[in-house]
A = this chain, B = another copy of it.
Amino acid sequence: MALIVQKYGGTSVGSVERIKNVARRIAKWQNAGHQVVVVVSAMSGETNRLIALAKEIQKNPDPRELDVIASTGEQVTIGLLAMALQNLGVPARSYTGTQVRVLTDNAFTKARIKEIDSHRIMADLNDGKVVIVAGFQGCDEEGNITTLGRGGSDTSAVALAAALHADECLIFTDVDGIYTTDPRVVSDARKLDVVAFEEILEMASLGSKVLQIRSVEFAGKYRVPTRVLSSLTDPDIPVDEEANSGTLITFEEDPKMEKVVVSGIAFSRNEAKITLPHVPDTPGIAYKILGHIAEANIEVDMIVQNAAKNGLTDFSFTVSRNDLDKAMKVLEKEVTPYLGEEGILTDASIAKISCVGIGMRSHAGVAAKMFRILAEENINIKMISTSEIRTSIVVDEKYMELAVRALHKAFGLDKATKAMEL
């Protein structure tokens, strides 16, 4: 007997029929002798509907009151799923975040979980019940309703799994696991059976949308074995089969994994590059430029400063493409005194490609191999940045697919796990 936390997102519970299917899947685990705690999102579209309603009243809705409204989406789903389980003869009981209670700070609309009371849930589990918890929500010390922000149900699930010392946290979603890269771009993309926590963290931060990044951080902090798997399979497939499907996120330094240098390739079109050529190479120049950008709440990703020549340097950084106009307005207003003759250059047709792999830690040469492969394809590299387990480059957007496919093949990601040549 294991204690399993299962999370189902908005698409998985998007209709009465789908909720019934989710109930069948849960009943199967319960009937196999496991204790099951379920975390659900609002039915797909419901959170957007509620937020749109709030915005009809207030253009920038009051965060406390927005959370009161938005949290009702999950509250409806928990009740419906409890009923669907009861229909199958499975005793089930629903809890809102307040009822559990999932204690958070009071940062409405983006609250962070501080503590989860596992008392009532454990009592129900030991009583043979399936426990259903509303994802995305909690309450602060004063009992105000809070929400965790978009994708917060993943975090709810992982946090509950940590609090309950669950054997595994299953994140059911509309993909069947985590892939070496986006299968829509590379047809040879391969599902990973296992991925290291640090790798998924880098991939999530790079925009791969499988898991919310805070849930991954939570999983890492409390070492919660977390599995991403499909909710679109036949709900009645055997438990053993389902338990081994998808992709498991691990925290062990698996000897097998040592051999893999690059586990996945992430990419993003959502980038824009800003270059300030020939600015004075004086201490604090980076702060003078980026300080204003940060104040305007614009996130900066890659930053490159070239070696100085004649006391002048080229300073480049990337921002989200949506923020380019806003960033340019800030720069034009604030940094004109530091600018060289060429003014500010922008490039909104770039893409970022990242090779991610925990094996990089002990292998130099990934960057060199990347550059060689791209050179062979005649693709010019515009920016480079690296972390311990990631090497990212920026290229012309039009070369993105070509570059991703070439790297995917060169790092052997199209083949089953094997030792990688550099």
A interface list, Cβ under 8 A from B: 16, 19-20, 50, 53-54, 56-58, 61-62, 64-66, 68-69, 71-72, 75-76, 78-80, 82-84, 86-87, 93-94, 96, 98-99, 143-145
Contact = CB atoms under 8 A, between A and B. Distances in A.
A61 B80 CA distance: 9
Given A72-B72, A99-B143, A143-B99, A54 B66 contact: no
B58 A68 contact: no
B61 A69 contact: no
Contacts of A58: 83-84, 86-87
A79 B68 contact: yes
Which among A82, A87, A144 has the highest number of chain B CB atoms within 10 Å? A82
A94 B16 CA distance: 31
Given A16-B57, A19-B57, A57-B87, A62 B80 contact: no
A365 B50 CA distance: 59
Contacts of A57: 16, 19-20, 80, 83-84, 87
A164 to B, nearest CB: 19
Nearest first, the 7 A-B pairs at minimum CB distance are: A72-B72, A69-B79, A68-B79, A58-B83, A65-B79, A65-B82, A16-B56
Nearest to A86: B62
A62 B82 CA distance: 9
A83 B61 CA distance: 7
A68 B134 CA distance: 11
Task: Give the oligomeric copy count.
Answer: 2
B94 A80 contact: no
5 contacts: A54-B80, A58-B86, A66-B79, A68-B78, A98-B98
A65 B80 CA distance: 7
Residue of A20, A69, A143 with highest tally of chain B CB at under 10 A = A69
Contacts of A68: 75, 78-79, 82, 94, 96
B99 A80 contact: no
Contacts of A76: 50, 53, 69, 72
Nearest to A43: B53
A148 to B, nearest CB: 17
Given A54-B83, A58-B83, A62-B82, 7 more contacts: A64-B93, A65-B86, A69-B79, A69-B80, A71-B75, A72-B75, A98-B143
Nearest to A16: B56
A65 to B, nearest CB: 4
Which of A76, A79, A87, A143 has the most CB atoms of chain B within a 10 A radius of its CB?
A: A79
Contacts of A86: 58, 62, 65
Contacts of A53: 16, 76, 80
Nearest to A84: B57
A99 B87 CA distance: 31
Contact of A69 (B50, B56, B75, B143): B75
Nearest to A142: B120
Contacts of A66: 79, 83
Nearest to A23: B57
Contacts of A98: 98-99, 143
A47 to B, nearest CB: 12
A37 to B, nearest CB: 17
